Structure 1
């Protein structure tokens, strides 16, 4: 299993500074990092910060969470096939929503090869204090990135007074009580703290023992063995799920159909597509507190 860190944060928050320092720490520990870097423009300005000896995949002119989702999957498959690495770091654009970005990372084709440690959001502490000046749409995205973090970096604290620093930490903790919050300058965080994150829940064929009580957003890999359903049965289970389940994608065994069907779910919308190659019957679920879900087919 290869560890994956998803770096989130608003434009100019300090994600790239954190990335370069994280790479340094990984190499000092003898671990081999690989990087996927997403940028909105045509030129890879941020990727120039990544050393030449590190496997790097760039996605330009697009958001990892929109049309880039399939490209991200292809980039991860390419890295897994062509490079020897221990840790994958994915830096999203400042315009990426954490749920969408996390969804782009998962594929039932390689979900059992990756261990998503969590979403690390770099928050500009000064911008947090000035968030009322942002447009409603921008402010919503800024706060969503913070709300879904597993680890929250209150960055640029050196620009604030002691009283402002205390205010930022107090307000962020109230807004996202599930995240560990640390105060940083230049996005520097000890690797030991990152390694303590656990956002991925194990396969449901085993007893789920991984506690994520301190986490909001997580994933769960469901493996279907020796079971099949009708589409109606499966969709009835879907309708009974809480609204804290945001995304599902994978391959579901359907009675009377030779190969498991490609299934996708997003915010109440369901899509089924025939699959002409026999794919592994497994499904990735993304949401909050998903370890408590009752899974169809389980006794």
Structure 2
């Protein structure tokens, strides 16, 4: 399986500086990185920082967590088929919500080939101290990126006094007590901290895997349905039993009387079914908190 890191952080926080330094460390360990870079504009400014010998996919004029989700799946599929790499780094735009960005990475077509290690968020320490100057919507996004990190970089600490540095760490810990917080300049993070992140993907073949995902807010679970079918009503009845901490599901569900598993999507309480004209693998990806202990329909 390929390790995957999702780099998150607000505009100008230092994600690309972190990316180039992590790439350097990976190459020093003779690990081959690949990069998917998402930029909101028409020009790939940040991707110019990636060396020519590294497999790179660019997504311009769109957010990875909005209309770009299907494009992201295609880019990952292309990398898996055509490129030789050990580690995949996905750098999101500064406008990406981390939960939705993580969702865009998961696809039942290749979820069992990727080991998503977690979200690494870079936070501009000075901006954090002046967050009240942001509009409510922007401030909310800024805080959500921090809240859902598995590893959190309090960046640009060289611009703060010691007292301010201590205030930033204290307040960030209050917002996200689960993440390891590292004070940084220029987004420099030791590779071993990334490698030590817990994998967030579990795969079910027949029974529920009860191992908890320790210290992570967000996790995912890949469920494979074998020799079982449901009615849409049965499946939606199960969906209604889910806690609010299940944010997203997508995959292909075998439905009684229908030849091919149907494409199923769930996001924040909304359900969507679409017919499939080719036989897709009956797999479902569940994204949320405490997914390891979630009873899944059809799993004994």
TM-score category of the 2 structures, normalised to the smaller one: over 0.9
Cα distance per residue 1:142-170 (max 9 Å; x no partner): 00000000110000111111111111111
Which residue in 2 is equivalent to 1:212? 213
Cα distance per residue 1:142-201 (max 9 Å; x no partner): 000000001100001111111111111111011101111111111111111101112423
1:288 lines up with 2:250 in the alignment: no
Q: Once superposed, what is the RMSD of the aligned Cα atoms?
A: 1.0
Q: Retained in 1: the 8 A contact 2:116–2:201? A: no
Which residue in 2 is equivalent to 1:46? 46
TM-score by length of 1: 0.98
TM-score by length of 2: 0.98
Which residue in 2 is equivalent to 1:97? 97
Question: What CA distance in whole angstroms lies between the structure 2 residues aligned with 1:85 and 1:120?
Answer: 20
Which residue in 2 is equivalent to 1:251? 252
1:143 lines up with 2:143 in the alignment: yes
Which residue in 2 is equivalent to 1:266? 267
Question: What CA distance in whole angstroms lies between the structure 1 residues aligned with 2:161 and 2:291?
Answer: 40
Alignment of 1:150-229 (within 5 A): 150-205=150-205, 208=209, 210-229=211-230
Cα shift at 1:209: 5.9
The alignment partner of 1:214 has SS state of coil
Which residue in 1 is equivalent to 2:80? 80
Cα distance per residue 1:66-124 (max 9 Å; x no partner): 11111111111111110010000000000000011011111100000001000000000
The alignment partner of 1:62 has SS state of coil
After superposition, the Cα gap between the structure-2 partners of 1:54 and 1:209, relative to the gap in structure 1 and judged at 3 Å, is farther
Cα shift at 1:227: 1.1
- Show structure 2 runs of 5+ residues with no match: none
Question: What CA distance in whole angstroms lies between the structure 2 residues aligned with 1:192 and 1:50?
Answer: 21
Question: What CA distance in whole angstroms lies between the structure 2 residues aligned with 1:250 and 1:99?
Answer: 17
Cα shift at 1:248: 0.5
Cα shift at 1:298: 1.6
Question: What CA distance in whole angstroms lies between the structure 2 residues aligned with 1:288 and 1:154?
Answer: 24
Q: Retained in 2: the 8 A contact 1:202–1:210? A: no
Question: What CA distance in whole angstroms lies between the structure 2 residues aligned with 1:180 and 1:297?
Answer: 36
Question: What CA distance in whole angstroms lies between the structure 1 residues aligned with 2:85 and 2:73?
Answer: 17
Cα shift at 1:290: 1.2
Question: What CA distance in whole angstroms lies between the structure 1 residues aligned with 2:166 and 2:211?
Answer: 33
Q: Retained in 1: the 8 A contact 2:208–2:295? A: no
Find runs of 4+ consecutive structure 1 residues off by over 6 angstroms: none
Which residue in 1 is equivalent to 2:33? 33
Question: What CA distance in whole angstroms lies between the structure 2 residues aligned with 1:6 and 1:202?
Answer: 18
The alignment partner of 1:202 has SS state of strand
The alignment partner of 1:59 has SS state of strand
Which residue in 1 is equivalent to 2:110? 110
Question: What CA distance in whole angstroms lies between the structure 2 residues aligned with 1:173 and 1:106?
Answer: 28
- Number of aligned positions between the proteins: 299
The alignment partner of 1:203 has SS state of strand
Question: What CA distance in whole angstroms lies between the structure 2 residues aligned with 1:208 and 1:182?
Answer: 32
Q: Retained in 2: the 8 A contact 1:122–1:154? A: yes
Cα shift at 1:208: 2.6
